[in-house]
Amino acid sequence: MSTVEEVRGITRGGGAAFTALWSGSMVLCGKLCGCGTSALKWAWDQASVDTEATAAKQAKADKKAQAKARPVKKAAADEDQDDETEDEPEVSAPPVVPVRRPVAESLGMLVLGGVLAAGAVGTVGTLVWPYVQELAPWRGVIATVGGLAWMVAAWMVAPSPAPAEDDAEQLPDDAAAVTQEGTAADALARHILERLAELAEQGRSGLHVTSLIDSAQEDGLLAPGAMDKAAMRAWLDASGFPVTKSVKVKGDVDYGLRVDRVSEALGMPPEQALAHLSGEGSSTPAQTAPQAPAGTPSSAPESAPAPAAPEPRLTLVKPLPAAAVQGSAQEVA
């Protein structure tokens, strides 16, 4: 390597370092500004929110929600007397909007709190200032250490640079990741169809989305906590499994899958859909017309039978999110 190339390499590396230092410093300044904004917002909330009135409003909303949910629980219990019942958590209303004091009163309390805080800071500064003056001979060391600490923190929080064009060939191929996610989605679809087939054989109507998530995690098809109820509902709808809003299982009503609705959407019962998804679906071989003997002209029938319509095929499935398959066993039947 020539001297010119060495100088260019050092300069190019220094430029990247200064760029990372600048971008990281902007990130740190943004965090400091965010902390100041959060502190001001917290101070305003402390001065303006009436905690007692807010607590009373929340208690009233909770009582109203409990009174509204009591008849629904009683009706569900009466319909499913033979089913097992479990203790349900206490019903509570969502957090209410805080009750705030008048603006003039809030500003007065904020000013009073600011005066008290300034007095406390001034007192602490007066007590600590003599000790700070003793550090005067070490000002250069303190400034150097502080500057190095800032630079290290800036480089740590700096965003990663965009990959260079020369390194494009070294980037990992996403084909393997896509194949892994698709395989996991196929395994989860088979798991769902197996559960629905079992329910159909037992004469049960359906199951909840939360129960499906738990069973998939137990079988190692999903990483624990990777998909919540909302994410699973979105994946089911996108994969051809219609989600029903109100499915009753042992007196509990929640989002779930019904055997009849899934069968209607797929055009076949779950056990047949499972066979098609696994590549074991029955296929009717095409019937060939018998050949006419030699010398005998073949005569076409007056009404040729129409070819049989192909059986419905599954259009499943949408690939799972990458986070849902990380750490899972990826068991594929």
- Give residue 208's pLDDT: 92
- The answer as to whether 220 is a domain residue is yes
Q: pLDDT at position 75, please?
A: 62
Residue 74 is predicted with a pLDDT of: 64
110 & 189 share domain: no
Domain of residue 206, residue span: 178-279+315-325
CA atoms within 13 A on the CB side of 80: 14
Tens of pLDDT, residues 228-277: 888 888 888 888 889 998 888 888 899 999 999 988 888 888 888 877 76
* Mean pLDDT over the full length of the chain: 74
Question: In this structure, are 57 and 91 located in the same domain?
Answer: yes
Please write the tens of the pLDDT for every residue from 136-185.
888 888 889 888 998 888 888 888 766 554 444 444 455 454 455 567 78
Domains of the chain: total? 2
Residue 125 scores a pLDDT above 60: yes
Pair 28, 127 in one domain: yes
Residue 67 confidence (pLDDT): 83
Name the phi and psi angles at 173, rounded to 5: -80, 135
Same domain, yes or no: 23 and 143: yes
List all residues 6 or more positions away from 216 whose beta carbon is below 8 Å from its beta carbon.
188, 191, 222
Q: What is the pLDDT of residue 179?
A: 53
- 141 within some domain: yes
Per-residue pLDDT at 62: 84
If asked whether residues 124 and 208 sit together in one domain, one would say no
What pLDDT is stored for residue 302 in this prediction? 45
Q: Are residues 244 and 320 in the same domain?
A: yes
Query: Is residue 41 assigned to a domain?
Result: yes
Percentage above 70 pLDDT, the chain: 66
Does 143 share its domain with 255?
Answer: no
The residue ranking higher by pLDDT, 11 or 212, is 212
- The reply to whether 166 falls in a domain is no
| Domain's final residue, options 105, 124, 155 | 155
Length of the chain: 333
> Is 194 in the same domain as 70?
no
pLDDT for 88 equals 54
Residue 299 lies in a domain: no
pTM of the model: 0.38
Residue-wise pLDDT tens digits, 278-303: 665 544 333 333 333 344 344 434 44
Q: Is residue 23 part of a domain?
A: yes
* 24 shares its domain with 151: yes
Residues 68 and 130 in one domain: yes
Is there a domain that residue 205 lies in? yes
58 falls in which pLDDT band (50, 70, 90)?
Answer: confident
Q: Of 124, 155, 186, which marks where a domain is finished?
A: 155
Same domain, 92 and 228: no
For 297-319, write each residue's pLDDT tens digit. 444 344 444 444 344 434 446 66
**227 and 190, same structural domain?**
yes
List phi, psi (to 5°) of 256.
-170, -170
Domain presence at residue 298: no
From 118, 140, 155, the end of a domain falls on: 155
